[in-house]
Amino acid sequence: MAFKSLSFFFLLLVILSLFTLSSQHRPRGGRQHDPSMPPDSFSSSASSSRFQPHISASLFFSSSLTLPTTSHYSDTMVGGGEWSLLQETIGVSAMHMQLLYNNKVLIFDRTDFGPSNLTLPPGKCRYNDEAVPQDCTAHSLLYDVASNTYRPLLVITDVWCSSRAVNSEGILIQTGGYHGGDHKIRLFRPCDDDQCDWIELDQNLTVHRWYSSDHILPDGRVIIVGGRSSFSYEFFPKNTFENSFYYFPFLKETTDLIEENNLYPFLYLLPDGNLFVFANQRSIVLDYKKNKIVKEFPVIPGEKRTYRQQDPP
C-alpha cells in the first residue's frame, strides 16, 4: 500500500514538473507589426519561419486585401494582433480565389456584370460579352503574396459560380460557369515569370455546368458533379472507353422545387477510392467507376445543408 502511495505521488510530481516546464517555454506573444511600417515592408517578412501571411475572408466581399500582423496564430485566435490593409483596391472582386503552390493567389469574378476597375494590358479585350460588346477590363488577377503585387489576367468566358480542382502538377482546372461559359474548360498553369494566363480549351464539357463541384481522383483526372438542372457527372480528361457523362438520379432526387438546395454538392474522396457525395440532407457513397451507389447514410434532420437558389434555373 505504501509503495502504491509513493508511486502515485511520484507520478503527480512528474506531471507537475512537465506542466511547469512547458509554461516556462510558452511564447509570451507574437512580434507586433509597427503601424508606421508600410504594408510592403511587412509582407516581405513572409519568408520568416514564424510568420505566414493570410488573405482575409473579406476578399470574398470586397476588392481590398487585408492581412493579420502577428507572428503566432494562437495570439490572433485569442484576440491579440491587428489587421493591415495591403491594397486599397485590386479592382476585381474575389468571387473565386485559389492559392497556388508558388505562393500566389488566383482571383477571378463573374464577367457579365459590366467592366471592372482593373484595366487589361494594351491590345487585350473581350468581345461579344453578355454585358458589354467590348470589355477591356480584367475580371481576374494574380496576387503575389511575398511582394504584395498583382497583375491583371484575361479570362474570356463567364466563370460565375463555376467549379475547380487542382491536379497533381499544380495546374488549376476550372469548369463551367454561366451563359457562354457553362460548357467551358479552363486551365491556369502557375509560373514565376509573369507570362502565364488563362487558357480556354477547344474541348468542352458534355453537359452545361453551373454550381457544380469538382474533385481530383487517384488516377489524376477530375470528376465534375452536378450543377443546376444537371443531374449527372463527367470526367476531365475523358478516357476513350467511357461515356461522355453519367446520369446521376441522386441529384434529381435531392432537388427541391424552386429552391433546389443541392447545388455545389459536397464531395470527398474516401480511402477505398469511392466518392462521398452530400446534397440537400442526404449523403451517399458513390462508386463512380460503376455508376453505382454502394451505401446511403441516414437523412440529416433540420435545415438543408447545400447551396440553394430561389429563381428558376
Task: State the pLDDT at residue 130.
Answer: 75
pLDDT beyond 60 at 32: no
- pLDDT digit string, tens, across residues 93-118: 999 999 999 999 999 999 998 999 99
- From 127, 161, 195, give the residue that closes a domain: 161
Q: How far apart are CA 168 and CA 55, in angstroms?
A: 24
Is there a domain that residue 240 lies in? yes
Is there a domain that residue 228 lies in? yes
Is there a domain that residue 12 lies in? no
Tell which wins on pLDDT, 239 or 31.
239
* Residues forming beta bridges with residue 139, ordered by sequence position: none
Question: What's the average model confidence in pLDDT over 285-310?
Answer: 91
Task: State the pLDDT at residue 305.
Answer: 85
- pLDDT digit string, tens, across residues 140-197: 999 999 999 999 999 999 999 999 999 999 999 999 999 999 999 999 999 999 999 9
Is there a domain that residue 80 lies in? yes
Cell 469538382 identifies what position? 214
Q: Is 283 exposed, middle or buried, given 0-12, 13-18 or 19+ CB atoms closer than 10 A?
A: buried
Is there a domain that residue 206 lies in? no
Residues 237 and 142 in one domain: no
Q: Cα-flanking dihedrals φ and ψ of residue 159, to 5°?
A: -100, 15
Cell 490593409 identifies what position? 85
Q: Are 164 and 96 in contact (CB under 8 A)?
A: yes
Amino acid at the residue 236:
F
- C-alpha pair distances (Å), 305 with each of 213, 227, 254, 300: 15, 16, 11, 9
Residues 58 and 152 in one domain: yes
H/E segment holding residue 232? strand 232-236
Is there a domain that residue 272 lies in? yes
Is there a domain that residue 200 lies in? no
- Nearest-5° Cα angle at 230, 229 to 231: 105
- C-alpha pair distances (Å), 267 with each of 9, 92, 168, 171, 306: 51, 28, 18, 20, 11
- From 142, 161, 180, give the residue that closes a domain: 161
Please say whether the dihedral angle defined by the alpha carbons of residues 11, 15, 21 and 22, taken in this order, is positive or negative: positive
Q: How far apart are CA 34 and CA 193, in angstroms?
A: 32
CB atoms within 10 A of CB 111: 29
Q: How far apart are CA 296 and CA 279, in angstroms?
A: 12
Q: What is the domain extent for residue 251?
A: 213-313
Q: How far apart are CA 111 and CA 73, in angstroms?
A: 36
Is there a domain that residue 91 lies in? yes
Task: State the pLDDT at residue 67.
Answer: 65
Average pLDDT, the chain: 81
Q: How far apart are CA 223 and CA 214, in angstroms?
A: 6
Domain total of the chain: 2
